[in-house]
Amino acid sequence: MFHVERCPYKIINMFPVYDVIVVGAGHAGCEAAYSAAKMGSKVLLVTMNMGVIAQMSCNPAMGGVAKGQIVREIDALGGMSGIISDKSMVQFRMLNRSKGPAMWSPRSQNDRNLFSAEWRKALENNSNVDFWQEMVTDVLIKDDQTCGVKTALGIEISSRSVVLTNGTFLNGIIHIGEKQFGGGRTGEKAAKGLTEQLVKVGFQSGRMKTGTPPRVDARSLNYKVMEEQQGDENPGKFSFSSQTSPLKKQLSCHITYTNPDVHEILQTGFDRSPMFNGRIKGVGPRYCPSIEDKINRFAERNRHQIFVEPEGWNTVEVYVNGFSTSLPEDVQYKALTKIPGFEKAKMFRPGYAIEYDYFPPTQLNHTLETKLVKNLFFAGQINGTTGYEEAASQGLMAGINAHLKINEKEPLILKRSQAYIGVLIDDLINKGTEEPYRMFTSRAEYRILLRQDNADIRLTEMGHSIGLADDERLASVITKSEKYDTLIKELKEIKVLPNEINHGLAEINTAKIHEKTSVYQLLKRPEISLGNLRKHDASLNTSLSKYDDECIQQAEIHTIYETYIDKEKKLVEKIEQLENLKLRENFDYKSITSLSAEAIEKLNKIKPKTIGQASRISGVSPADISIILVYFGK
């Protein structure tokens, strides 16, 4: 175990020796600090501005396609993003309801200021979390192991582990037209020194770019010409816990569109665009392009959708989702006023692009500990990801594994078959990323297993075993599982007669039955739900009254998709056989001359621990895997 006496740096007495120092208080940093502290570590959270802890730097929303699954997984493990989102929610929608349950994704619109305040309250209520407001310029390293951090004031603070969650602040440069200035986000300075130090140690770094749209005054908009987008009639929530409740009232969003006039005005600023004149070198997010990129790449389209999103309960500030831009502010404003409903718009602040440093994540282990320096963890945009949810999940896992590592316990590594978080981290470690990584349901091979509705059943027992999810959470999951099993059994036992149900079946345009049939078998038909069956069967209605809507929904999903679920489980078992085939960690793949040159390069760089991991490395083909199996089979 690491002993602080080994640290060669002079430590100021005002600080104790911390178990974990977390650098950065964004979504990743907050989850890292909270999880490690709740598990028992003494944590110092270092941020350059205590006033913007957990700031929603871009859109005031959580969740969405695949991202909503991640928030529910964080909650199931015992993290806080789901609870904070629920407490600050102004609207809730379950996306993709028209598709299968594997695609359903919860999304909330949030009060930006309340979200930050609730996160700060949660951290301050944990006595294991201390705070320090300052810039970190160096990671203290001795014998290839971190032992603390050094700040811009020259203060050296000792710790047994360090988690870096620097977001967009590492050498950040903000671009608005031909203007550029240092900053991590608007109104906040960039972080200097840390990238240069880590590169000297031996880390590889790169540059990425993201952007944000202008903010406008809701009082200046004409909502009558826009399409109103209300929340769900019966809103849900993210957290499985009893700490939060669904919304009683909601704010509406609105939808409008750009048009050829808007596009023409935007094009007048292309000669001053940092994107098109080469000033921006970093790679931007493919799936969230700026408005100028959209009209340039998709010139055949006459319009693009704009979502008009409120920033909170008690503010008139509005987020113009879909209008991310780094064009000059005068061009931004002129173009905005040509959007229906924005004719008299007043702009609070212009949109901008930001470039920042990141470190290719192939330099990490699955625990998010760096391969080069022990007890040093990276989480969030420093790893090349984009999005609050992706960052928060990495912060959670880094905080968990930092605590487990310094206490000499087994790490927590989620498999691809266990969680979207597992898919995210596995993709980063094995494939790396040269553009901001965003999670999609299509990235998960086992998305029928990894649904948002069963995240607690998948993960809460795991979170409880490491001391993060509390006893109440575990008891709730056990009760839920027991109810679910009982309901499935009842549905198999409840039989209906043709003369009792055929009239109802005809009403929903499905084939009649000719003999006594179980409700379970009827539910195999995709057009049938328990909701329409119970209308025509009093005994079924009585049986279902003992169960809540969530339990009934899960029973329906299991019944309809039982065959597909079983197929995915068998596929998981087959693939996991490869995960059990270990590889020598320091093996030089150059000695296998029949491997492709790319495979040798990637395998030597990433050093996979199993055949399964090797098979997921970009550039390693199935033929290469066969060769490795034959070679080690000897």
| Three-state secondary-structure class, residue 185 | strand
pLDDT of residue 2: 42
β-strand partners of 138: 150
Tokens standing for 306? 């704009």
Locate all alpha helices (DSSP H) within 17-88, ordered by sequence: 27-38, 67-77, 81-87
| Angstrom distance (rounded) from CA 276 to CA 294 | 13
C-alpha angle 467-576-439 in degrees, rounded to nearest 5: 65
Distance (Å, rounded) from C-alpha 621 to C-alpha 601?
A: 13
pLDDT of residue 23: 98
Amino acid at 305: Q
Q: Is 174 helix (H, G, I), strand (E, B) or coil?
A: strand
pLDDT of residue 1: 42
Instruction: Give the pair of three-digit tokens for residue 271.
Output: 């000669």
388-406 vs 420-431: helix axis angle to the nearest 10? 80
Per run of 10 residues, the mean pLDDT along the chain (length 634 residues) is 53 82 98 98 97 94 97 98 98 94 95 98 98 97 96 95 96 92 87 95 95 96 98 96 96 98 95 83 80 90 96 97 95 97 97 95 97 98 96 98 98 96 95 92 92 96 97 94 91 86 84 89 85 76 83 88 90 85 90 91 91 89 88 75
Classify residue 509 as left (phi > 0), alpha (psi -120 to 50) or beta. Answer: left
What is the rounded CA–CA span in Å between residue 64 and residue 242?
Answer: 22
Angle at CA of residue 475, ends 472 and 478, nearest 5°:
150
pLDDT of residue 283: 77
**Strands of the 253-257 sheet, one edge to the other:** 227-229, 253-257, 305-310, 317-321, 215-217, 347-349
Using alpha carbons, list the distances in angstroms from residue 497 to 494, 505, 539: 10, 12, 12
Contact (CB, 8 A) for 63 and 112: no
3-state DSSP assignment of residue 139: strand
DSSP E strands, 503-554 = 517-518
Q: Give the pLDDT of residue 238.
A: 98
Alpha-carbon distance 493 to 623, whole Å?
A: 50
Beta bridge pairs of residue 208: 283, 356
Consecutive H or E run containing 520: helix 519-522
Which sign, positive or negative, has the C-alpha torsion 457, 462, 463, 464? positive
* DSSP H stretches of helix in 299-341: 329-336
Q: Residues, the chain, total?
A: 634
> The tokens of 39 are what?
């598990």
Q: For the packed helices 67-77 and 455-465, what is the interaxial angle rounded to 10 degrees? A: 40
pLDDT value at position 311?
97
> Looking at the DSSP assignment, which residues form a beta bridge with residue 352?
212
Packing angle of the helix pair 420-431, 67-77 (nearest 10 deg):
110
